[in-house]
């Protein structure tokens, strides 16, 4: 059984490129609808000095939004160059892992495709990365593709 919809989560990085290519191949090969999502993280980072809060913070977020919309536009163009077709592109703000899983559920996609890379052990002890968190939280299959090919895939229990 092939998924009716494939959702590819991208951040425009080099690690995401193989995932986009794999999603196009999967969608084209199975006749699945391809949708793309980009999430601007609103997760707060390290504490900021009082001089960077306020007007600058709002301007910074607006700049990140514009970059996100441009990235979606560029990724859609890239998918078309690869011979694919984007049924819909989605822009979200929030915690990226949570928003991707939520959107996948809302759209009732059959497969989530994302990029990933094996992180060093000292990074993993501080928490799971994006793709690992998506695998753990998603209630549908997740395919993680890295520069070395498929690194892991999971089917929910």
Domains detected in the chain: 5-154 (3.40.50.620)
pLDDT at site 125? 65
The residue among 4, 64, 59, 5 whose CA lies nearest residue 38 is: 64
Chunked into runs of 10 residues, the chain (157 residues) has average pLDDT values of 89 87 95 96 62 61 92 95 96 94 96 79 65 89 78 51
Question: What pLDDT sits at residue 138?
Answer: 94
- pTM attached to this predicted model: 0.82
Give yes or no for a contact between 120 and 16, defined as CB atoms under 8 angstroms apart: no
Q: How far apart are the first and last CA of the chain?
A: 17
In angstroms and rounded to an integer, the radius of gyration of the C-alpha atoms of the chain is 16
Phi, psi for residue 6 in degrees, rounded to 5: -120, 130
Q: DSSP secondary-structure letter at 51? A: G
What pLDDT does residue 50 have? 45
Interaxial angle between packed helices 55-81 and 17-30, expressed in degrees from 0 to 180 and rounded to the nearest 10: 50
Q: Please, are residues 138 and 156 in contact by the beta-carbon 8 Å criterion? A: yes
Q: Residue 104: in which H helix or E strand, if any? A: helix 96-107
pLDDT at 47: 47
What's the confidence (pLDDT) of residue 45? 58
> What secondary structure does DSSP assign to 63-97, as a single string?
HHHHHHHHHHHHHHHHHHHTT--EEEEEEEEE-HH
Rounded-to-5 percentages of helix, strand, coil across the chain: 45, 25, 30
Q: What's the pLDDT at 58?
A: 79
Question: What is the Cα–Cα distance from 128 to 155, expressed in whole angstroms?
Answer: 18
């Amino acid at each position: 059984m092939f998924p009716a919809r494939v959702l590819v989560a991208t951040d425009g990085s080099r690690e995401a490129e193989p995932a986009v290519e794999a999603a196009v191949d999967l969608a084209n090969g199975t006749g699945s609808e391809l949708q793309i999502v980009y999430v601007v993280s609103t997760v707060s980072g390290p504490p900021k000095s009082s001089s960077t809060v306020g007007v600058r913070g709002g301007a910074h977020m607006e700049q990140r939004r514009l970059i996100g919309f441009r990235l979606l536009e560029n990724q859609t163009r890239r998918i078309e160059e690869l011979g694919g077709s984007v049924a819909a592109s989605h822009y979200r703000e929030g915690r990226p892992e949570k928003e991707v899983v939520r959107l996948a559920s809302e759209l009732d996609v059959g497969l989530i495709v994302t990029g990933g890379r094996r992180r060093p052990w000292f990074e993993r002890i501080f928490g799971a990365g994006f793709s690992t968190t998506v695998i753990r939280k998603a209630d549908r299959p997740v395919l993680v593709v890295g520069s070395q090919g498929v690194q892991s895939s999971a089917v929910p229990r």
